[in-house]
Structure 1
Amino acid sequence: MLITLAGTLALVGAVSAAYYFAMRPVTLRIAVGPPNSDDVKVVQTLTQSFAHGYVRLRPVQTEGATASAQALADGKTDLAIIRGDLDVPKNAQAVATLRKNVAVLWVPPAAKAKKPAPKITKIQQLAGRRIGVVGRTPANVNLLKVILRQYGVDASKLEIVQFPANEAAEAIRNQKADAYLAAGPVNSKITSDAINASTRDGASPTFLAIDAAAAIAQNYPAYEASEIPAGAFGGSPARPDDEVKTISFSHHIVARKGLSEATVSTFTRQLFAVRQTLLSEFPLAAKIETPDTDKDAAIPVHPGAAAYVDGEEKTFLDRYSDYIWFGLMGLSLLGSIGAWFASYLKKDERSNNSSLRERLFDMLALARHSDSADELDQMQAEADQILRETLNSFEQGAIEQGALTAFNIALEQFHNAVADRKALLTSMPQNLQRAGVQLRASGA
């Protein structure tokens, strides 16, 4: 009983400890940048929403997507927000698509005060021109070069100048370039402000279609063929006035390979659970999508995120049932070993009790032929001592109930034999008793 109780308490303690360690909050470090960007705002909002969840976030601000990817590659963070068209760390696995970005190429209308230059209506006509790129990240320049390369335009034959996002509108109004490139969500305020700054005297900018978007996507898996809807940037008349073909790429939330499947699964579930509640406060959260779970995806999906998407999340019992089962088996084995060891330790007591029981049987035979009341009294005193030792052995578990019952029967027979013999001796004359004693003594 003690071994069983101890095993049960150990099992309850082990399960309780496992549940505590499995369910205690986990804080994940997430790399995001640049400072004051929409990505940082999204992560800050998610951090507040996750404050009381199982998975919590600790933002680690970086200089941009490239630095965030490097932080994940170096193992300094658990999660990161990266651009899909940049080098993806080998240890990165997709958790969610934060947003899709489109490349927007446009040409402002010519100023009336200036001598009209040949109008740019095609990407091939950008050769020899000055191209302004919105944003300081080198990734946008690489994006422009990918587009130019597809159309056979030598990037070295034109001038590329970058403008910080907060200075782009002013640079466009001051006609710092002949054409401009911006990359961001279709509803990006930065892109909309830049395009609105290109409007002059009611004339709208000319949007350059990337008709070879499908070919670019085939050559560069990080990009997809996409379209900019008519009127996406507002204005009157609508800008653009018709659908424009372009390429798109995604910003991904990726997790470090090897991060707990259960943790990533819970993080993904929390992420999509709060998405709808964030819409009123931060509309960009509506762009969060589940990752691509295909085996040939550009960024392999993390098993935890895949489990959430496929509806195969594991419960606590699913994850730890094997451990609990093996724990029960182990406790059962330990109980058996403990019982055998306890039995082994009491082997001498059982052996001693067996010899005491044999001694009681011998005294039973002697009592039936004894001719001395004193001898009977001595045997009865010895039987009392045997009884005491037998009861002690039973209390210590050295003998079982069945053995004790058999001993009681033998003890009862002994007492009956002593009583019968004493009654017989009492009824016999003293001279006959002495004669019997002397006869047995001489025979001995």
Structure 2
Amino acid sequence: MRKLALPVGREALLPLGLAVLLVLGALTAFQVTRPTTLTIAVAPEGGTEPALLRAYADELARRRLGIRLKVLPFAGVRESAEALKAGKADLAVVRPDVAMPGNGLTLAVLRELAAFVAAPAASGIKGVPDLAGRRLGMLASRTADRTLVGDLAAHHGLELLTEAASGSAPQTAVALVPVAEADVAAALGAGRIDALVLVTTPTSPAARRLVDHVRAASPDGEVTLIGVPDAAAVLARWPRLQPVTVPAALFGGNPRLPAEDVATVGSSYRLMARADLSRSLAAEVTQHLFEMRAALAETVPAAEDVTHPAYEDTADATSARLPIHPGAIDYYEREQETFIERYESWIYLVAILAGGVGSTAAWLRQRLGRIRRERIEVATARLLELRSEARRETDRARLEGMAGEVDDLAASIARHALNRPTEPRTLAAANVAIEAARSTVGRARAGTG
């Protein structure tokens, strides 16, 4: 007896296309909404910049923003710059006069440094040439600071002696004497140093304390601040430095100290990004840093020193010796990409996938409906075949088999009708075929009895 083999594999495989499209849509949504983690190289060890950027990373995570920072610490800014250059970091703290990565573009200035000398007025030191043969006190400083002071001294024809013996320095040199902050006033009073050189942020509390120590050691309480008057020439020789102005009356208003603005040069600690970092990510990192500045300053006062790099226009910003990242410029000029612009490609992809999912779902519904109809039609055709065969069959055993097959086909049609929508016309035809087949088989069985 021939058994009916209904197609069962196609209906199970057809939803695969829809499932694939749904997975692609979910992956796209995940890609758009998941946070982006950037690696940031921080230095110098023990400095204010690592503390600031760790606090920034923590605040980004606490607010659950779309950017996350993975902090990678280094001992010095030369190493952090190398990490950015080698592609080991997306962002880095860079001091340009120490090491400038060729692929680094500025996002923000974390801290500006100014080089200037504070001397008791009674010392007679009025300018850099007056430092010849003198002893300059300097806090236990970093190598980069000593290098900067040495370059400035060399520009004025003076040799910087970092291991000078006691007593006056030669008239062609200036001696650099390490001194602790607490010993500045005593060292000036005892004549161990004649003035104090600072490489620091002029507005910082530390700078104010040091100037106060010099004032305390001055017999008349007056202090002279000396900068670098020929800053343009210095910057021409060392283009990675920058002009800095110490504002008048910064260290006191009565009497004013300094009496007038003091022009000098200095360096800066900068937050830099890889040049190939997307504009939208660079803009977002810059935006969040400035928006969080006040909150960060509550725990890390150095956040107050964060500022934007100075530039005249976009062309100046991108062609400067220390160029600014286009993404940071977008933030500064309020031209950041909108959500639509940033994820335009993804949105188009989602739209295409959504259209594809809809079309595929409609096709699958149509296809599955046709398969269900075909199954019932095949069963109906077989019932009609059994009816014809039963009219000619005289073997009772074979008629018994036909009766069983009719029952099986009826059960199969019933299951499809219960579990899936079925066209009434198709179901009505199947019912007629069932009744006709049963009636014919039944009469044939009675005739053989």
Q: Secondary structure of 1:295's partner?
A: helix
Cα deviation 1:385-412 (Å, max 9, x = unaligned): 6796498479779x9967x836855985
For 1:186, the aligned partner's letter is P
Asked if 1:285 corresponds to 2:306, the answer is no
Query: Within 5 Å, which residues of 2 pair with 1:38-437?
Result: 38-43=48-53, 45-46=55-56, 49-50=59-60, 52-54=62-64, 55=67, 61-73=73-85, 79-110=91-122, 119-153=124-158, 157-161=172-176, 163=178, 166=181, 169=184, 171-199=187-215, 200-234=218-252, 236-256=254-274, 265-279=283-297, 282-290=300-308, 294-302=317-325, 305-306=328-329, 308-309=331-332, 310-312=335-337, 314=339, 318=344, 320-325=346-351, 327-328=353-354, 357=381, 360=384, 389=409, 392=412, 405=425, 408=428
Mapped to 2, the partners of 1:287 and 1:408 lie a distance apart of 85
Mapped to 2, the partners of 1:276 and 1:49 lie a distance apart of 12
1:244, CA displacement in angstroms?
Answer: 1.3
Q: Bigger CA drift: 42-51 or 334-343?
A: 334-343
Q: Bigger CA drift: 327-336 or 250-259?
A: 327-336
Asked if 1:19 corresponds to 2:23, the answer is no
Cα deviation 1:403-427 (Å, max 9, x = unaligned): x8368559859989x99xxxxxxxx
How many residues in Structure 1 have an aligned counterpart in Structure 2?
404
Mapped to 1, the partners of 2:131 and 2:38 lie a distance apart of 49
1:252, CA displacement in angstroms?
Answer: 0.9
For 1:100, the aligned partner's letter is E
1:168, CA displacement in angstroms?
Answer: 6.5
Verify the 8 A CA contact 1:121 1:208 in the aligned structure 2: yes
Mapped to 1, the partners of 2:434 and 2:414 lie a distance apart of 20
Verify the 8 A CA contact 1:106 1:207 in the aligned structure 2: yes
Q: 1:165 to 1:303 in 2, by over 3 A?
A: farther
Cα deviation 1:236-268 (Å, max 9, x = unaligned): 422212221112432112245666776655443
Mapped to 2, the partners of 1:134 and 1:194 lie a distance apart of 10
Specify the alignment match of 2:3 in structure 1: none
Q: 1:190 to 1:138 in 2, by over 3 A?
A: same
Verify the 8 A CA contact 1:229 1:242 in the aligned structure 2: yes
Verify the 8 A CA contact 1:78 1:256 in the aligned structure 2: yes
Cα deviation 1:40-84 (Å, max 9, x = unaligned): 443454455445133555655544433433454456655432223
Mapped to 2, the partners of 1:62 and 1:361 lie a distance apart of 86
Give 5+ residue unaligned stretches, structure 2. Answer: 1-10, 162-171, 440-449
Verify the 8 A CA contact 2:118 2:223 in the aligned structure 1: yes
Verify the 8 A CA contact 2:135 2:194 in the aligned structure 1: yes
Q: 1:412 to 1:338 in 2, by over 3 A?
A: closer
Q: Bigger CA drift: 139-148 or 56-65?
A: 56-65
Mapped to 1, the partners of 2:233 and 2:387 lie a distance apart of 109
Verify the 8 A CA contact 1:223 1:248 in the aligned structure 2: yes
1:182, CA displacement in angstroms?
Answer: 1.2
Q: 1:147 to 1:34 in 2, by over 3 A?
A: same
Q: Secondary structure of 2:350's partner?
A: helix
For 1:193, the aligned partner's letter is R
For 1:95, the aligned partner's letter is L
TM-score (structure 1 length as normaliser): 0.66
Q: Secondary structure of 2:271's partner?
A: strand
State the Cα RMSD in Å: 5.4
Specify the alignment match of 1:440 in structure 2: none
Mapped to 1, the partners of 2:159 and 2:362 lie a distance apart of 81
Mapped to 1, the partners of 2:181 and 2:57 lie a distance apart of 26
Verify the 8 A CA contact 1:102 1:183 in the aligned structure 2: yes
> What percentage of aligned pairs have identical amino acids?
21
> Which structure's CA Rg is the greater one?
1
Q: Bigger CA drift: 350-359 or 299-308?
A: 350-359
